[in-house]
Structure 1
Amino acid sequence: MSRLVVVSNRLADPRKPAAGGLAVALGETLKKTGGLWFGWSGTVVKDGAPGEGELRMHQAGPVTLAELDLCQEDHDAYYRGYANGVLWPIFHYRLDLASLESGYLSGYRRVNHLFARKLMPLLKPDDMIWIHDYHLIPLAAELRAMGCGNKIGFFLHIPLPPQQILAAIPSHEWLMRALFAYDLVGFQSEADLLNFAHYVKAEATAETVGVGQFRAFNSTVQAGAFPIGIDIDDFHRLGRARESQETYETTCREYSRRRLLIGVDRLDYSKGLPQRIRAFGELLKEYPENRHSATLLQIAAPSREDVDAYSDIQHELESLCGAINGNYGDLDWMPIRYIHRAVARRRLPGLYQACDVALVTPLRDGMNLVAKEFIAAQDAADPGVLVLSRFAGAAEQLKEALLVNPYDIPGTAQAIQRALQMPLAERQARHAALLENVRKYDVHWWCGQFLEALANVR
Structure 2
Amino acid sequence: MSRLVIVSNRVADPGKAAAGGLAVAVKESLQQTGGLWFGWSGKIREETPDSADHGDVKLEAVGNVQLATIDLSQQDYDAYYLGYANGVLWPVFHYRLDLANFDVQFAAGYRRVNRLFAHKLLPLLRPDDVIWIHDYHLIPLAAELRAMGCGNRIGFFLHVPVPPPLIMAAIPEHEWLMRSLFAYDLVGFQSEADVTHFARYVESEAGAECLSDGSLRAFNRTLRVGAYPIGIDVDEFTKLANARDGVDMFLRMREEYSRRRLLLGVDRLDYSKGLPQRVHAFRELLATYPENRGSATLIQIASPSREDVGAYDDLRRQMDSLCGEINGDYGELDWMPVRYIHRNVARKRLPGLYRASRVALVTPLRDGMNLVAKEFIAAQDPADPGMLVLSRFAGAAEHLKEALLVNPYDTQGTAHAIQRALTMSLDERVNRHAALMSRIRQFDVHWWSSGFLAALEHAGLREDAGCAA
Instruction: Tell me the TM-score range normalised by the shorter chain.
Output: over 0.9
**Which residue matches 2:245?**
243
Distance 1:236 1:412 in 2: 29
Which AA in structure 2 matches 1:419? Answer: A
Distance 2:360 2:166 in 1: 33
Which AA in structure 2 matches 1:35? Answer: G
The Cα shift of 1:318 comes to 1.1
Distance 1:385 1:237 in 2: 21
**Which residue matches 2:15?**
15
**Which residue matches 1:234?**
236
**Which residue matches 1:326?**
328
The Cα shift of 1:457 comes to 0.8
The Cα shift of 1:50 comes to 6.7
Distance 1:338 1:428 in 2: 29
Partners of 1:13 and 1:23 within 8 A in 2: no
Unaligned runs of 5+ in 1: none
The Cα shift of 1:34 comes to 4.4
**Which residue matches 2:442?**
440
TM-score (norm 2): 0.95
The Cα shift of 1:304 comes to 1.7
The Cα shift of 1:14 comes to 1.3
The worse-fitting range, judged by mean Cα deviation, of 405-414 and 29-38 is 29-38
The C-alpha deviation readout for 1:138-176, integer Å capped at 9, x for no partner, is 000000000111110000000110000000001100000
The Cα shift of 1:242 comes to 1.2
The Cα shift of 1:17 comes to 3.4
The Cα shift of 1:402 comes to 0.2
Distance 1:272 1:386 in 2: 16
**Which residue matches 2:140?**
138
1:271 aligned to which of 273, 276, 279: 273
Q: What's the % identity of the aligned pairs?
A: 69
The C-alpha deviation readout for 1:304-349, integer Å capped at 9, x for no partner, is 2222211111111111111111111111111111111111111100
The C-alpha deviation readout for 1:51-86, integer Å capped at 9, x for no partner, is 723211121122211111111111111111100111
Partners of 2:363 and 2:408 within 8 A in 1: yes
Closer/same/farther in 2, CA of residues 172 and 20 from structure 1, 3 Å limit: closer
**Which residue matches 1:62?**
64
Which AA in structure 2 matches 1:46? Answer: E
**Which residue matches 2:37?**
37
Distance 1:387 1:31 in 2: 33
Distance 1:199 1:24 in 2: 30
Unaligned runs of 5+ in 2: 461-469
1:358 aligned to which of 357, 360, 364: 360
The C-alpha deviation readout for 1:70-121, integer Å capped at 9, x for no partner, is 1111111111110011100000000000111110011100000000011111
Which AA in structure 1 matches 2:4? Answer: L
Which AA in structure 1 matches 2:431? Answer: A
Bigger RCO (CA 8 Å, 6+ sep): 2
**Which residue matches 1:422?**
424
Which AA in structure 2 matches 1:2? Answer: S
The Cα shift of 1:25 comes to 5.2
The Cα shift of 1:24 comes to 5.7
The Cα shift of 1:212 comes to 2.3
The C-alpha deviation readout for 1:262-300, integer Å capped at 9, x for no partner, is 000000000000000000000000111111111101111
Distance 2:25 2:421 in 1: 33
The Cα shift of 1:237 comes to 1.3
**Which residue matches 1:177?**
179
Partners of 1:21 and 1:231 within 8 A in 2: no
Q: What value does the CA root-mean-square deviation take over the aligned residues?
A: 1.4
Distance 1:333 1:298 in 2: 15
Which AA in structure 1 matches 2:425? Answer: P
2:107 aligned to which of 102, 105, 108: 105
Which AA in structure 2 matches 1:38? Answer: F
Partners of 2:155 and 2:187 within 8 A in 1: yes
1:411 pairs with 2:413? yes
SS at structure 2 position matched to 1:199: helix
Distance 1:54 1:447 in 2: 30
The Cα shift of 1:46 comes to 3.0
**Which residue matches 2:209?**
207
Which AA in structure 2 matches 1:74? Answer: D
SS at structure 2 position matched to 1:220: strand
Which AA in structure 2 matches 1:39? Answer: G
The C-alpha deviation readout for 1:217-266, integer Å capped at 9, x for no partner, is 11110000000001111111111121111111110011100111000000
SS at structure 2 position matched to 1:343: coil
The worse-fitting range, judged by mean Cα deviation, of 329-338 and 55-64 is 55-64
**Residue correspondence of structure 1 range 273-312 to structure 2 within 5 A:** 273-312=275-314
Partners of 1:57 and 1:66 within 8 A in 2: yes
Partners of 1:400 and 1:433 within 8 A in 2: yes
**Which residue matches 2:463?**
none
SS at structure 2 position matched to 1:83: helix
Distance 1:227 1:436 in 2: 15
Distance 1:437 1:27 in 2: 22
**Which residue matches 2:160?**
158
TM-score (norm 1): 0.98
Distance 1:20 1:327 in 2: 35
**Which residue matches 1:342?**
344
SS at structure 2 position matched to 1:147: coil
Distance 1:426 1:352 in 2: 19
Partners of 1:273 and 1:317 within 8 A in 2: yes
Closer/same/farther in 2, CA of residues 249 and 34 from structure 1, 3 Å limit: closer
Partners of 1:251 and 1:354 within 8 A in 2: yes
Partners of 2:19 and 2:347 within 8 A in 1: no
Tell me how many residue pairs correspond in the alignment: 458
SS at structure 1 position matched to 2:225: strand
SS at structure 2 position matched to 1:222: strand
The C-alpha deviation readout for 1:185-209, integer Å capped at 9, x for no partner, is 0000001000000000000000112
Which AA in structure 1 matches 2:172? Answer: P
Distance 2:28 2:424 in 1: 40
The worse-fitting range, judged by mean Cα deviation, of 103-112 and 238-247 is 238-247
Partners of 2:81 and 2:110 within 8 A in 1: yes
Closer/same/farther in 2, CA of residues 378 and 30 from structure 1, 3 Å limit: closer
